[in-house]
Amino acid sequence: MRIKWFSLVRITGLMLVLLYHYFQSVFPGGFIGVDIFFAFSGFLITSLLIDEFANKKKIDIRGFLRRRFYRIVPPLVFMVLVIMPFTLLIRKDFVAGIGTQIAAAFGFVTNFYEMLSGGSYESQFVQHLLIHTWSLALEMHYYILWGLAAWGLSKMSKSTAQYRGLISLVSAGLFLISFVSMFAGALTTKNYSDIYFSTLTHVFPFFAGTVLATLSGVGHVGNSFKKWEAKVSLKQALAALGGSVALLLLLSLFLKFDSLWTYLFGFLASTLLACVMIVASRMLHDKLPKVSEPGFVTVIADTSYGVYLFHWPFYIIFTQLMSNGLAVLLTTVLSLSLAALSFYILEPTLAGRQPVIMGIQMDLSAITKPVFCSMIPLSFFMLFIAATAPTVGAFDESLIVNALNQADSKMQTTRSQVDQSKATEYNVTEGVTLIGDSVTLRSREYLEQVIPGVQLDALVSRTLASGLEVFQNDIANRVLLKQAVLALGTNPVDNYEDLLNQYVEALPKGHQLILITPYDGRSAGDENSLPVKVRHYELELAKKYDYVYVADWYQTALDNPQIWAGTDAVHYGSDADSMAEGGLLYANTLKQAIDQANSGNVKP
C-alpha cells in the first residue's frame, strides 16, 4: 500500500542533504536531512512489520531481510561500479585506500571505518568518495537488529494490540538509550565525528519513527490515531506539514556540525519535526482521497536513495574539474538518471519482477541485458583501481613526513632552548614559536627556509580550542619563544572570540602574539562564515593591543588564485610548482609580520 505524500518526506530529506553538500556555507546544518531519512525508515519498516503481523499473525524474517537486501545492496554496488572509471579524471589522492573504502561500504561498516581512521565528517580536505555510505551502515545495522527484535516480539504476542504495545515499549527504551548516549557523549568528547558516526549514539531517529509507527502505521492504523485524525482539519494537517518543512529548512541554516547544541538538541529537534511531517502526510492521504500525487514528485521520491548514493562521489569528482555551479548541474542530472535506471529497471529485474514505469509494465529485456553485461568489465575495472590505488595519498604522505620532521626538529631544539635562555628584562628567549594546523604542517619546508630556527608545532584538524592547550603547556614549561604565532581558525569553533581573548590574556610579559588569518576558499567573501569572522576579530585585536600583529594569509590567498587550482580551497598546491609557490607565499606573509613585530612593542 503506497501512502500518498510520504514522498514529500523523502524529498525534504534529500533536498537538505543536497543543499548541504552543494552549498555548505549557506546551509551548514543540511546534514539533518539524513536524520529525516532515518526517522522515516524506522516508521515505514515498523509499520510494514505491524501490518504483516496483523494480516498473518507472524513475521517472515527471511522475507524481510531479503527485501531489505534487494532494496539496498544492488544500487550500492551499481553506484560503486559506475563511479570507478570517473576516478581516472582526478588526482590519485582521491582514490588512496579506495579498496578499503569499498570493502567498508559493501560490509556496511563505513561508520566504524571512519571512526577508526580518525576522519572528521566535515574536515576531510581530501574527501573519501564513499564516506556518505556511513548512513547505509547505520540503516543496515538497524534493519538487521530491529528486524530480529521485532520477529522475536511477534513470537511473544497473541494479538496485534499486544504486538504494538511491546514494540512501542522496547523502541521507546532504545530511543532513550541512544539519545542519552549522544547527549552525554557531546558533553565529554572532543571529536563530534565519533558521535555522529556511531551506531549507538545516532540510531535514535530510527526508533523515534518506530514509536510513531505503533501510533499511526500504514495499512493497519490504530484506533487512537483514527480518532485523533478525525479531529484534525485539512488546513491543520497542511499547516503542520508546511510548518515542519519550514522549521527544518531554518535549522539547516543555523545548525553547525561542530556545535555542542547540535548534538544536545539539534538532531532531536530535526527528528521530531520529521515525525510531524510523517503524521501530517499520513493524514493528508486520508483527507485527500481524490487528489493524486504529482508524477514528478513520485519519481523524485522513488529515486531519492539512488540520488543520495550517486551525488556525493560525482560531486567530489566534478568539483575538481569545473566550477561549483557546473558541478552541481552535472552531478544532479547524472545522479537522477542513474538512480532512475537503478530503481525502475535494474532492481526489479534482479528481484524477478517486471519493470514498472509510471504505473505501466514494460518489457525492457533489450536494455537490461547489455546493462547487466556491462557490470562485468566494470567489476574488473573496480578491482584494478582498488589494487593499484596508493594506500596513502600524496597529500596525506606529505603531512606525515612533515609531522615526523617537525617532531625530530622540536626534540633537538627544546633542550637547547631551555638551557640557553637569554636573560633579558623579562627572561624571554628570542625566536618564533608557531602553533598551527594542517596548512602550517604542509608549509613546514618553506617556513624553515624563510624563517630559520622557527619552532613548529602543527597538527591536522587542530582548532583554536586544542591549540590553546599547546600554548598553555609551552608557557608552563617555559619553552614559548618571544614571538608566539597562531596559525589556527581554518577548523572553526563558535567561541573563537573567547578563545582568542584567552590567548592574549595568557601571553607572558615580554612576548608578542602574531595571528595568521585563516583562509577557506569555500567560504571566502562570506561575511557570515566562521573563518572570515575569525579574521575580522584578529584584525580588531591587532588594533586594540600594540603587541598583537597579523599575518594576513587570507588576503594573500585571495590575491593569488593560481595556487588554488585543483585543490580543496584550503590547502594550496595541486602540483610541485603551485605547492612551492603557495608555500613561499605563506612563509613570506608570516615573515613580513615578524619583521613588523621586530620593530614593535612586546606585552608589558
**Helices 98-106 and 61-83 meet at what angle, rounded to 10?**
160
| Contact predicate 297/3, CB 8 Å | no
Name the residue with higher pLDDT: 517 or 226. 517
From CA 151, how far away is CA 283, in angstroms rounded?
A: 28
From CA 29, how far away is CA 273, in angstroms rounded?
A: 14
Q: Is 39 helix (H, G, I), strand (E, B) or coil?
A: helix
Domains observed in the chain? 6-388 (no CATH), 394-598 (3.40.50.1110)
Residue 396 has what pLDDT? Answer: 55
Per-residue pLDDT of 330-384, as tens digits, reads: 999 999 999 998 998 888 887 777 777 666 676 666 677 777 778 888 898 899 8
Q: Averaged over 439-457, what is the pLDDT?
A: 89
- Name the strands in the sheet holding 432-436, side by side, starting at the edge strand that comes first in the sequence: 455-458, 432-436, 483-487, 512-516, 548-551
Q: What angle (nearest 5°) sits at the alpha carbon of residue 559, between those of residues 556 and 563?
A: 85
Q: Averaged over 140-166, what is the pLDDT?
A: 94
Lowest mean pLDDT, pick from 190-199, 217-226, 280-289: 217-226
Q: Is the pLDDT of residue 416 over 50?
A: no
Beta bridge partner(s), residue 456: 434
Q: In the chain, what percentage of residues exceed pLDDT 70?
A: 91
Residue 314 has what pLDDT? Answer: 96
Amino acid occupying residue 179: F
In angstroms, the Cα distances linking 211 to 118, 425, 588 are: 34, 69, 60
Label residue 419 by pLDDT band (50, 70, 90).
Answer: very low
Per-residue pLDDT of 458-486, as tens digits, reads: 887 788 988 999 999 999 988 899 999 99
DSSP tally for the chain: helices H, then strands E = 27, 7
Residue 521 has what pLDDT? Answer: 86
C-alpha cell at 363: 518489457
Beta bridge partner(s), residue 357: 360
Q: What is the value of pTM for the model shown? A: 0.77
Nearest to 34 by CA among 134, 124, 129, 112: 134
Q: Is the pLDDT of residue 513 over 60?
A: yes
